[in-house]
């Protein structure tokens, strides 16, 4: 598996594939290892999908802990939602993380918006559900979006990409 690591975006951030545990299978040994290496090199060089890289000076991730702090400080929900949209962050939350957000008093509108960012991204690119290529794990939350160099059309509320004029 080829993996592009982009360093320096957020302290403590690691970019790794989102694991889909489907069990082990196939053969092992030198032939299997060689085949895996060859396929990884081919995949890395084919350019079928571009590596995700953040735009320098672009939007920054708005993390779940940062959202929780805003809520604790009684920041108006409308302002939190505006910050979420401005950041272009996509939130890939587990059911337990949603329950945890509810338990600490996160307004339903904020949780709904977080879930909507993920649903919108999947409608625009269904592969996002099965590949870790575009996701970053920060403090046990999975993020995507403009801060990771995603195309604006994948991001809910992002400015539309300029259309080509004829």
Number of domains in the chain: 1
Q: What is the mean pLDDT of the chain?
A: 76
- Does the residue 164 lie in any domain? no
Residue 110 forms part of a structural domain:
yes
Q: In what order do the strands lie in the sheet with 141-145?
A: 13-14, 136-138, 141-145, 89-92
Residue 160 is assigned to a structural domain of this protein? no
Quick: pLDDT tens for 95-107: 999 999 999 999 9
In-domain check, residue 100? yes
Tell me what pLDDT residue 158 has: 75
Please report, rounded to a whole number, the percentage of residues in the chain having pLDDT higher than 70: 61
pTM value? 0.67
What confidence tens digit (pLDDT) does each residue in 14-23 have? 454 444 444 4
What domain range includes position 80? Answer: 13-154
């Amino acid at each position: 598996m080829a993996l592009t690591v982009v360093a320096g975006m957020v302290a403590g951030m690691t970019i790794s594939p989102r694991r889909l545990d489907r069990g082990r299978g196939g053969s092992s040994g030198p032939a299997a290892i060689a085949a895996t290496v060859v396929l990884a090199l081919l995949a890395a060089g084919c350019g079928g999908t571009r590596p995700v890289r953040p735009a320098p000076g672009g939007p920054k991730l708005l993390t779940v802990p940062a959202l929780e702090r805003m809520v604790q400080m009684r920041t108006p929900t409308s302002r939190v939602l505006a910050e979420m949209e401005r950041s272009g962050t996509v939130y890939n939350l587990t059911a337990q993380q949603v329950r945890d957000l509810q338990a600490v008093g996160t307004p339903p509108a904020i949780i709904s918006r977080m879930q909507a960012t993920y649903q919108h991204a999947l409608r625009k690119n269904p592969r996002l559900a099965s590949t870790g290529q575009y996701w970053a794990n920060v403090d046990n939350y999975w993020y995507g979006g403009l801060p990771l160099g995603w195309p604006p059309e994948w991001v809910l509320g992002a400015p539309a990409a300029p259309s080509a004029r004829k």
